[in-house]
Structure 1
Amino acid sequence: MATRALILVEGDPTGTGLLYIQAAQRLGLHPITLSADPARYEYLAAEKYEAIRVDTDNLDALIRECSRLGATYDVAGITSSLEAFYATIGKLCQYFDLPGPNPTSIERCCEKFSQRQLLAAAGVPVPAYRLAANAADVQSSAAEIGLPVILKPAVGAGSCGVRLCRNADEVAEHTTYLLGGKHIWRSLPRMLVEEFAEGPQYNLEVMENEVIGVAAADYGPPHFVCREHIYPALLTDDEHERIADISLNCLRALGLGWGPANIELRWTERGPVVIEVNPRLAGSPVPQLVQAAYGVDLVSEHIKLVIGEEWNLRKRRSHTAAARYLIPDCDGTLDWIDGDSRAAAMSGVAEVKLFVEAKTPIIRKGDYRDRIGQILAASPSRALTEATLQRAVDLIDWSITPFPTVGEQEQSLGPTLSTPASAAPDER
């Protein structure tokens, strides 16, 4: 009998890709990663997981490779932990007659303007928004909506290129950044200009039509890099029901009835307003937090769905789980970072992970890549979880030497010596 295999298209350096591999192995599957550059995922080489180099932006190349693998393995399912490849996953699953997401729905959802249109048409509360293709469009859209506004790429994830602009100068500055060649576009360079929905943020994890958990999330402007997640959010029953109803309306409006989804809302003066619907499982450490809080292994249950087996989201406990992300406050060279071992040894700390080492250049980008580490804590008590997390965070410290300014660089070089043209060779 052929070995059952799970094909993973690309991975995730932050950890979710490894979670999928480990969960696949626990389920008796042989995980195979297809990647344009397998070397970028350190965990593949470290544990000698099977990986195959293939152009993952080329659907035909992926079909050929999956067909070739099908001659050796019983391909039970195909999936990915990355949103950028989720529509491709849907197309592959359709081609090979495997369970998977609707690629058309995924593509519409990942295009933020189309997502906004579909949600608004279905009566889902969303911020005021406009689509802009150039600086003049951005300027007029910001004037129509009223400052402050959020300016973001129409396609993207991880807060890449997203910024709160409080005045006209910041609007112009960020427009120049997005259109000036520094931002890497995943599609045509189109921007979304949005009303700034102020209020506490809540993130939901949904599988099929079941809300698994609601987290309180702290995203600090102007770039909205997440600083903390905590499950469960402190909500009344009515508030929880209202958020859950709106979230399920989102899935219906977007045609996302299959698989996992991650939904972000803010509770504003007019109630819950949907910020974004992501048609895939949230990245690490959200799956670990959900498992610590509720005893539900989202990654394993998603894989069961992918391979057509019975899945179960029944909660096995009701704990509080929280994550804090370590984010530097300046650019420069990381001199040292320590305290992680002491933090990891604390009772109630579930994970301490550093993403950088000493002497690493720190260049903040205003998105998820700014994180230099994360700490997870969990316990039956909310007060204990929060106190444990804070004590663990306080144990970790680091030092960053800012990069020298242009003036400092010139000064360090000293005066420039010139050689007189009339000087003899031995005098030069």
Structure 2
Amino acid sequence: MARRALVLVEATRNTLRYVQSAQRLGLHPIMLSADPGQYDYIAAKGIEAIRVDTDNLDALIRECSLLRTTYDIAGITSSAESFYATAGKLSRHFGLAGPNPASIERCCDKFIQRQLLAEAGVPGPAYRVAVNATEVERFAAEIGLPVILKPAFGMGSSGVRLCRNVDELAEYTTDLLGGKHVWLSSSKQRTWQASPRILVEEFAQGPQYNLEAMGNEVIGIAVADYGQPHFVCRGHIYPAPLTDEECARIADISLSCLRVLGLGWGPANIELRWTKRGPVVIEVNPRLAGSPVPEMVQLAYGVDLITEHIKLVIGKKCDLRRRHSHTVAARYLFADRDGTLDRIDGHNRAAALSGVAEVKSFAKTKTLIIRRGDAGDRIGHVIAASPSHARAEAILQQAVDLINWSITPFPDPW
């Protein structure tokens, strides 16, 4: 009997957990990547990887067809948003379970997503789509400063910026249209350069909440801390300190988003802000949230989102029952300047604290730090868990205070 395999298209920080979960389920993980060498854990963990043009669907179909001569492909998926629709297309081609790729692609176009939600009456910020600097300026005046500018495609807060005045608006519009911010795969970057579209959005002010769903079931709601002007998440706390009524309102709006966008299969992450007019939808992400959200959900509720997602992918029923309820808090570590990372230490002391669940560093010494104002700027994270909300936050702060780093600025070019 052929060995059952799970095919993963490209990778994110979640992918190693997908590999480990697949192995626990008795599956052989195989990664398809345009450059497997960019993922340092591939060789270290002995993961089978195949080099293929992942922007070319026909090439992927040919590679999967070849794999089927050796393996029983149980499922195909991706932890990367930019390849999730591709994984859906491959799944459909081979008669496997997966999301609706058309729904994923519509959702990944932030303008189309905004249109569909607005037409269905889902509360959201005022918005326009601009293709040049003149339109950006006019639409910002219509909506009223401050406004948020973001590319119609992108993820991880890439290319997102709060513009408080006309000078910031003009400067950042020039940056976006000039291609200073690269946040897409090469093929989509070429599309952007040929026909740029910038969303100009009302700045919806209020606390932010992020909801995780699997299919049509709400798993958990976190309160999130997003910095400005780039709106990069600096931390989460599960569960969010909300009343039952407030949770119900956020859940109802989120589930209505999934219905409108055709996202009733698999994981989804919905970002909302609670404004003066109640919760408004900032963005719907048609995939599992990035690390460490799955780890936090498992610590908070006992639900392993990655394993349950893989079960869906291979055609099995998932189990989303909560096993317990804890408060879980995470803080993301960001470099304070550009330059060369000389040292980063204190992780072992932080990890040894009672209540600290995980301490991770993404940057090694001598790494060149070039901040871009997106989620890729994180150099690590710390997670703490406790039955008490106040205690979880206190443990987290104590752990973060133990971690230190030193960065030597780049030489002055002048």
> Is 1:403 equivalent to 2:410 in the alignment?
yes
Pick from 81, 96, 121 the counterpart of residue 123 of structure 1.
121
Aligned to 1:33: 31
User: Residue in 2 aligned with 1:417?
Assistant: none
AA partner of residue 9 (structure 2): V
Matches within 5 A, 1:319-358: 319-358=326-365
1:225 match: 232
Residue of 246, 267, 278 corresponding to 1:239 = 246
Q: Matches of 1:52 and 1:332 in 2, distance apart?
A: 34
1:47-58 equivalent positions in 2, closer than 5 A: 47-58=45-56
1:403 CA displacement: 2.3
Secondary structure (helix, strand or coil) at the match of 1:249 reads helix
2:374 corresponds to which of 356, 364, 367: 367
- State the match for 2:5 in structure 1: 5
> TM-score, normalising length from structure 2?
0.96
**Which of 269, 283, 293 pairs up with 1:286?**
293
Q: Which runs of 4+ in 1 moved over 3 A?
A: none
**Structure 1 segments unaligned to the other structure (5+ residues):** 408-428
Q: Partner of 1:265 in structure 2?
A: 272
Q: What whole-Å deviation, never above 9, does each CA across 1:399-424 have from its counterpart, x for those lacking one?
A: 222223234xxxxxxxxxxxxxxxxx
**Separation (CA, whole Å) in 2 of partners of 1:246 and 1:343:** 38
What secondary structure, in the 3-state scheme, does the structure 2 residue paired with 1:28 have?
A: coil
Query: 1:196 and 2:194 equivalent?
Result: no
1:137 matched residue in structure 2: 135
> Which whole-Å CA distance do the structure 2 matches of 1:103 and 1:60 have between them?
15
AA aligned to 1:67 is S
Match 1:46 to one of 41, 44, 47: 44
Distance of 2:355 and 2:260 partners within structure 1: 40
Shift of 1:337: 1.5
Moved more, 377-386 or 90-99: 377-386
Say which SS state the counterpart of residue 222 (structure 1) adopts.
coil
Work out the CA distance in 2 between the residues paired with 1:132 and 1:405. Answer: 37
Query: What amino acid sits opposite 1:8 in the alignment?
Result: L
User: Which amino acid is the alignment partner of residue 138 of structure 2?
Assistant: S
Please state if 1:147 is matched with 2:151.
no
SS of residue paired to 1:33 = strand
C-alpha distance in 1, partners of 2:276/2:155? Answer: 27
What do the CA deviations read for 1:68-113 (whole angstroms, capped 9, x no partner)? 1111111100000011011111111111111111111111100000
Structure 1 residue 130 displacement after superposition: 0.5
User: Which range moved further: 241-250 or 384-393?
Assistant: 384-393
Q: Give me the CA root mean square deviation.
A: 1.0
How far apart are 1:355 and its partner, in Å?
1.1
Count of matched residue positions in the alignment of Structure 1 and Structure 2: 405
For the residue of structure 2 that corresponds to 1:106, the secondary structure is helix
Supply the AA of the counterpart residue of 2:180. K
Q: 1:82 aligns with which of 80, 99, 107?
A: 80
Pairing 1:302–2:285 present: no
Supply the distance in 2 between the matched residues of 1:108 and 1:370 (Cα, whole angstroms): 27
Name structure 2 gaps, 5 residues minimum.
none
Aligned-pair identity in percent equals 73
**For 2:146 and 2:16, how far apart are their aligned partners in 1?**
39
Matched to 2:52, the amino acid is V
**What secondary structure, in the 3-state scheme, does the structure 2 residue paired with 1:372 have?**
strand
Greater C-alpha radius of gyration = 1
What secondary structure sits across from 2:179 in the alignment? coil
